[in-house]
Chain A
Amino acid sequence: MPSLAGWPAENIAAAMIAFRDDELPSTVMGRIAKGFSDEEITAIAEWLAAQEEPPKDARP
Chain B
Amino acid sequence: MPDRREVVIGIAASAATLPAPSALAKKAPRVVVIGGGFAGATCARTLKRRDRNLTVILVEPNARFTACPFSNGVIAGLRDIQAQQFGYDALKREGVEIIAQAAVGADPNARMVMLEDGSDLEYARLVVAPGIDLDFGALPGYDRAAAEIMPHAWKAGDQTLLLRRQLEAMEDGGLVVMSAPASPFRCPPGPYERASLIAHYLKTRKPRSKLLILDAKESFSKQKLFEAAWKALYPGVIEWTPLSFGGRVTEVDAASGTLITEFGRHKAAVANIIPPQRAGAIAQAAGVADQTGWCPIDPVTFESRLQAGIHVIGDAAIGGAMPKSAFTANMQAKVCAGAILALLRGEAPKEQKLVNTCYSLVAPDYGISVAGVYQPRDGLLTEVEGAGGVSPLDAPASYRAQEASYAEGWFRTITSEVFG
Chain A residues close to B by CB (< 8 Å): 1, 27-28, 31-36, 40, 54-59
Q: Which A residues touch B399, using CB under 8 A? A: 27
Between A and B, 24 residue pairs with Cβ closer than 8 Å are: A27-B399, A27-B403, A28-B369, A28-B371, A28-B406, A32-B357, A32-B388, A34-B373, A34-B384, A34-B386, A34-B387, A35-B355, A35-B372, A35-B386, A35-B388, A36-B373, A36-B387, A40-B353, A55-B49, A55-B417, A57-B49, A57-B50, A58-B49, A58-B50
The answer to whether B353 touches A27 (Cβ under 8 A) is no
Contact of B357 among A1, A28, A40, A59 (CB under 8 A): A28
Which residue on A lies nearest to B413, using beta carbons?
A1
CA distance A11 to B83 in the complex (A): 34
Please give 16 more A-B residue pairs, beta carbons under 8 A apart, in addition to A34-B388, A58-B50.
A1-B409, A27-B406, A28-B371, A31-B371, A32-B355, A32-B371, A32-B373, A32-B388, A34-B386, A34-B387, A35-B355, A35-B373, A36-B387, A56-B49, A57-B49, A58-B46
Residue of B46, B353, B387, B406 with highest tally of chain A CB at under 10 A: B387
CA distance A57 to B371 in the complex (A): 27
Contact of B387 among A1, A27, A32, A54 (CB under 8 A): A32
The answer to whether B49 touches A35 (Cβ under 8 A) is no
Which residue on A lies nearest to B45, using beta carbons?
A58
Q: Which A residues touch B371, using CB under 8 A? A: 28, 31-32
Q: Which B residues touch A59, using CB under 8 A? A: 50
Query: Is B416 an interface residue, CB under 8 A from the partner?
Result: yes
Q: Which A residues touch B373, using CB under 8 A? A: 32, 34-36
Per DSSP, are chain A's interface residues mostly helix, strand or loop, or mixed?
A: loop
Total interface residues in chain B, CB < 8 Å: 24
Nearest-Cβ distance from residue B72 to partner chain A, whole angstroms? 20
Residue of A28, A33, A34 with highest tally of chain B CB at under 10 A: A28
Query: Is B391 an interface residue, CB under 8 A from the partner?
Result: yes
Which residue on B lies nearest to A35, using beta carbons?
B373
Q: Which B residues touch A31, using CB under 8 A? A: 371, 387-389
Contact of B391 among A27, A33, A34 (CB under 8 A): A27
Q: Which B residues touch A54, using CB under 8 A? A: 416-417, 420
Nearest-Cβ distance from residue A49 to partner chain B, whole angstroms? 17
The answer to whether A35 touches B417 (Cβ under 8 A) is no
Query: Is B402 an interface residue, CB under 8 A from the partner?
Result: yes
Contact of A35 among B50, B384, B403, B406 (CB under 8 A): B384
Q: Which B residues touch A27, using CB under 8 A? A: 369, 391, 399, 402-403, 406
Nearest-Cβ distance from residue B242 to partner chain A, whole angstroms? 27
CA distance A4 to B402 in the complex (A): 19
Q: Which A residues touch B372, using CB under 8 A? A: 35
Nearest-Cβ distance from residue B325 to partner chain A, whole angstroms? 13
Q: Which B residues touch A32, using CB under 8 A? A: 355, 357, 371, 373, 387-388
